[in-house]
């Protein structure tokens, strides 16, 4: 019997069947959530080299495009074949990455490790000095006993937390290094995968477009291609810009706090640079622990550090950031805050990094849908018209 797929009841039956199947699958997953998580973890572990390789290829592609759009546009290279130029571009790209890794592990990492070890060794003496300061303050101003006991109780709680943190810091770093070394094989395989992806990236893009065209209608295929291009533009511009911006801020912080003879310059500059990748909250996340570290050594220097960070962040927010990122976000501070809170809660630190560009993408899609519906109704689509 021939099925009339255009029939109203056939469509309802198919949708009902799909809803029942989805409900059964959801129930099975929910009832066996532990087993499901294990299976997902095993699947992710299996594909981890390819995931790492894809991430590497995506990030390294910015360097490759820089060389191909600048150095490899010279007359000498214009006469060469595409394969030759791609080979030279890849050689320069991975040489640049290798140089950056070498510089980090040869100059930054030893200083970073030395600063951390020095901080851990010095924390007990800092805590002892702070305890003496509390006692001297009480002797000098004769605080009432109930307030002094409350102050002492609070300080003992903080003291225990600080000592516990210092005690656990080295094992935590050891576990981090151990886990990183356990991923060495995946990183090596991922590096090879990234090379193959970048060698033939145009062919891979062509294959994806081919499958897209074959699977969907022309309108849907064009829409998916446009959304893919938009996603690449938003994430690419944001991540590359933020990494460059954070590197500049880290170096600038190092130079300034070195001039002011702050303690633990490498460690603090590294913290400020890494956390600066996080929009909105990043400067505060990096500045607060750094100020506390300096506070143990000198309260005056900690105060100066806060002033320095405020000035640097003003320079970043008004000069460096706009020059590098431009208006790549295009959303208000409220939505930035909203996206960071939600994505950070769901995905942790990774969510704090990718949450904003992900929300910008979703926001742009919803905006397109709303504006297209308003245009079809011959209604104004600018938000100002509804204020």
pLDDT tens-digit series, residues 264-278 = 888 888 888 888 888
Integer-rounded Cα radius of gyration of the chain: 27
Mean pLDDT of 209-219: 87
What does the domain layout of the chain look like in residue ranges? 47-215, 219-324, 329-381
Per-residue pLDDT, 195: 92
Question: What average pLDDT does this structure show over 198-203?
Answer: 88
Averaged pLDDT of the chain: 79
Digit-coded pLDDT (tens) for 280-296: 777 788 888 888 888 87
Would the pLDDT of 81 be above 90? no
Query: What pLDDT is attached to residue 93?
Result: 92
pLDDT tier at 17, thresholds 50, 70, 90: confident
Where does the pLDDT of residue 1 fall: very low under 50, low under 70, confident under 90, or very high at 90 and above? very low
- pTM, rounded to two decimals: 0.72
User: Is 175 a residue whose pLDDT tops 80?
Assistant: no
The pLDDT of residue 243 is above 60: yes
> What mean pLDDT is predicted for residues 242-270?
88
Kindly report, residue by residue over 294-320, the tens digit of the pLDDT.
Answer: 887 788 888 999 999 989 888 887 777
């Amino acid at each position: 019997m021939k099925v009339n797929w255009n029939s109203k009841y056939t469509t309802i039956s198919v949708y009902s069947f799909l809803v029942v199947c989805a409900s059964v699958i959801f129930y099975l997953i929910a009832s066996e959530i532990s087993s499901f998580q294990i299976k997902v973890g095993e699947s992710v572990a299996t594909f981890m080299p390819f995931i790492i390789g894809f991430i590497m290829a995506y990030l390294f592609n910015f360097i490759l495009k820089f060389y191909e759009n600048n150095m490899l546009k010279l007359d000498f290279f214009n006469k060469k074949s595409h394969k030759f130029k791609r080979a030279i571009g890849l050689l320069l790209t991975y040489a640049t990455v290798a140089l950056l890794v070498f510089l980090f592990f040869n100059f930054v990492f030893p200083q970073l490790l030395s600063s951390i070890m020095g901080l851990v060794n010095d924390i007990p003496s800092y805590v002892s000095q702070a305890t003496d300061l509390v006692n001297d303050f009480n002797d000098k101003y004769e605080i009432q006993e109930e307030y002094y006991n409350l102050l002492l109780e609070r300080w003992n709680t903080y003291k225990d937390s600080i000592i516990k943190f210092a005690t656990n810091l080295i094992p935590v770093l050891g576990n981090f290094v151990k886990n990183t070394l356990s991923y060495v094989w995946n990183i090596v395989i991922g590096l090879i995968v990234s090379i193959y992806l970048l060698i033939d990236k145009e062919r891979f893009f062509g294959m994806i477009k081919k499958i897209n065209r074959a699977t969907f209608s022309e309108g849907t295929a064009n829409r998916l291609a446009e959304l893919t291009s938009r996603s690449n533009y938003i994430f690419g511009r944001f991540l590359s810009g933020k990494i460059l911006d954070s590197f500049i801020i880290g170096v600038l912080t190092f130079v300034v706090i070195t001039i002011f003879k702050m303690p633990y310059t490498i460690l603090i500059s590294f913290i400020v640079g890494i956390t600066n990748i996080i929009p909105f909250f990043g400067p505060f996340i990096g500045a607060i622990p750094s100020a506390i570290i300096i506070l143990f050594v000198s309260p005056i220097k900690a105060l100066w550090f806060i002033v320095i960070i405020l000035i640097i962040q003003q320079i970043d927010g008004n000069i460096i950031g706009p020059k590098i990122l431009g208006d790549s976000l295009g959303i208000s501070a409220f939505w930035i805050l909203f996206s960071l809170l939600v994505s950070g809660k769901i995905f942790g630190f990774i969510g704090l990094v990718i949450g904003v560009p992900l929300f910008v993408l979703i926001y742009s899609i919803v905006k397109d849908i709303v504006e297209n519906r308003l245009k079809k109704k011959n209604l104004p689509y600018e938000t100002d018209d509804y204020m």
